[in-house]
Structure 1
Amino acid sequence: MDHASEQISPTAYATGYFWYRHGLSHEAFATARGRRIDFAFELLARTARLFSGYSIEALMLARHKGIDAQLAKAIESGRVGQVIEIAAGLSPRGWSFMRRYGKRLRYLETDLPAMAETKDAMLEEASARSERHRVVVLDALADSGPHSLAAVAASLDPKVGTAIITEGLMNYLDADTARGVWERIAATLRGFPQGVYLSDLYFQERKVHPALAAFGALLGKFVKGRMHVHFETPADVSRTMKAAGFTRVRAIKTDAIAATREYAQTRGGDAVRVLEAWV
């Protein structure tokens, strides 16, 4: 476990504690390391908000609860009964949705080996791991092989509607890499009677406040890479996702989702959209 933890991004631990601090997660996903890093991030986020008025906290809560709301709608309508969450990290979504829907749902959390091993142990500690809720290794950039998306999806029931989720992942990928991931997701979802992809997305802002730019640069240092914004307009979203193989695409504003309307009143909470793309 100690060896594995060295290979995990600090942001994974920080967000794991962030969800717990906001009452959304199980204590098993809240680590001492996460508490320390979350505390540092919170201080930086408060400073950024003081100078720019932009709330990173509102953005994160809006994206998480917005995706949850659209996933719940798809499950309750009977269109989805299986979920693959890519780069799940220490997200509480699998735990909370299995508590909520039980035998109506099958949930696969996926990540790279170190994170998958860590999350699997945490689910065991939370008494939440089961045949219907598992953590498996997945490399979202692989076109084939045992850890590719296609191979992981092959373990699910091909007769049941399926959702694939990415949260907080795509902005770490450059345009070409992101396009490849979207194409693999669309191709995988076409193997099920109904398929939906849910993610957070952002539009390129014309002018970014220096305090916010500094926060983004620091975050990039933590994850050893730069952040990428893939879209400028809703038309860009539709064009890009349809080219990747999706048929119905929406970029939903947070003020249009009941669960996130309160965050849409805050700068930051209004900056995120929920991407919903069906095949």
Structure 2
Amino acid sequence: MFRRTDAAISPTALYTGTVWRRNGLSHPAFATLAGTALWTGLVAPRRAAALLGVPDLDALLLARHHAIDTLLEQAIDSGEISQVVELASGLSPRGWRFSSRYGSDITYVETDLPGMTRRKQDLLERAGLMGPGHRVRVLDAFEPIGPNSLDALADELDPDQGTAVITEGLINYFPLPDVTTLWNSVGAVLHRFPRGLYLSDLHLDQNPGAVTATAKVLITAFVRGDVYLHFDSEQEAIEALYEAGFDAAELLLPSSFGGRVESGVDRNHIVRATTGAR
């Protein structure tokens, strides 16, 4: 079983960090030699997979990132959200970009396991990229209680401000019981605020066949662990989100947000779930 440890998650963090940087979404301070090597090493396998009809990995990553960015921007610009917690943020540049854009108007907390948190904190401080409301914290997304839980972090936030929680590139690496634990924690925490927004990505098991099987094999080899497709339909996933305590939930297609749209990016759905008044 794939467990979330610093060693296990680092290939995905390094690779996605390189994708953001190569596409103008990140700062040069986020560059890593290991990430560049991983990206270069996957060029040939990605091309071979494309011949089999497998969607391009970089296109999938960029489409989901753009979609989540857009939904978060809308929530902040509308005044509904002013606090953001990004779980398992890895080398995501979103905290830096949103803190740079909104300054003291928002609080942005990036979280991850200790090794990645130390690395992120160090690179942000060395490059002078920490904004006034930008923080980095140790947090285990799958711990419902305890000092390193989302519940404990929520105690540090303003209870009168709308709050968003983001899990990008996380859900499908864990079995359903872990996902249920996570969603229950997020749903319960967001009910502590006047408005809550949960954003994530989610692969459904809607397209069984050679393409899906090939993609799963490639990703499994890359992350050195299992990849899980928990739900057969959008309705199943939405019902699970309601059971976790969200007041509203929907799954959206990345192609509906514009940006870089290539064939196959809609195999990855975008979760938007909310709590509180609308």
Same fold? TM cut 0.5: yes
SS in 1 for 2:165: strand
Q: Which runs of 5+ in 1 are unaligned?
A: none
1:208 maps to a residue whose letter is G
| Match in the other structure for 2:84 | 83
| Match in the other structure for 2:273 | 277
Q: Once the two structures are superposed, what CA deviation does each residue of 1:33-90 show, in whole Å capped at 9, x if it has no partner?
A: 1100111123322221122152222211111000000000000000000000000000
SS in 2 for 1:9: helix
| 2:246 paired with 1:226 | no
| Mapped partners of 2:52, 2:237: distance in 1 | 31
| 2:140 paired with 1:139 | yes
**Residue 165 of structure 1: CA displacement?**
0.1
SS in 1 for 2:144: coil
| Mapped partners of 2:120, 2:52: distance in 1 | 36
| Mapped partners of 1:202, 1:217: distance in 2 | 14
| Match in the other structure for 2:55 | 54
**Residue 6 of structure 1: CA displacement?**
5.7
**Residue 9 of structure 1: CA displacement?**
1.9
| Mapped partners of 1:103, 1:219: distance in 2 | 38
| Match in the other structure for 1:242 | 242
TM-score by length of 2: 0.92
* Cα distance change on mapping 1:274 and 1:180 into 2, 3 Å: same
**Aligned length, in residue pairs:** 271
SS in 1 for 2:232: coil
SS in 1 for 2:143: coil
**Residue 205 of structure 1: CA displacement?**
3.2
Cα root mean square deviation, aligned: 1.8
**Residue 223 of structure 1: CA displacement?**
2.7
| 2:198 paired with 1:197 | yes
**Residue 107 of structure 1: CA displacement?**
0.4
1:23 maps to a residue whose letter is G
Q: Once the two structures are superposed, what CA deviation does each residue of 1:232-256 show, in whole Å capped at 9, x if it has no partner?
A: 2121122110000001111111232
Q: Is the 8 A contact 1:52 1:209 kept in 2?
A: no
| 2:101 paired with 1:105 | no
Q: Is the 8 A contact 2:111 2:136 kept in 1?
A: yes
SS in 2 for 1:225: coil
* Cα distance change on mapping 1:80 and 1:232 into 2, 3 Å: same
**Residue 100 of structure 1: CA displacement?**
1.2
Q: Is the 8 A contact 1:120 1:135 kept in 2?
A: yes
* Cα distance change on mapping 1:38 and 1:182 into 2, 3 Å: same
1:108 maps to a residue whose letter is V
**Residue 121 of structure 1: CA displacement?**
0.7
TM-score by length of 1: 0.91
**Residue 216 of structure 1: CA displacement?**
2.9
SS in 2 for 1:192: coil
Counterpart mapping for 1:5-84 below 5 A: 9-52=10-53, 54-84=55-85
| Mapped partners of 1:6, 1:201: distance in 2 | 23
SS in 1 for 2:266: coil
| Match in the other structure for 1:217 | 217
Q: Is the 8 A contact 1:44 1:215 kept in 2?
A: no
| Match in the other structure for 2:251 | 251
Q: Is the 8 A contact 1:7 1:114 kept in 2?
A: no
Q: Which runs of 5+ in 2 are unaligned?
A: none
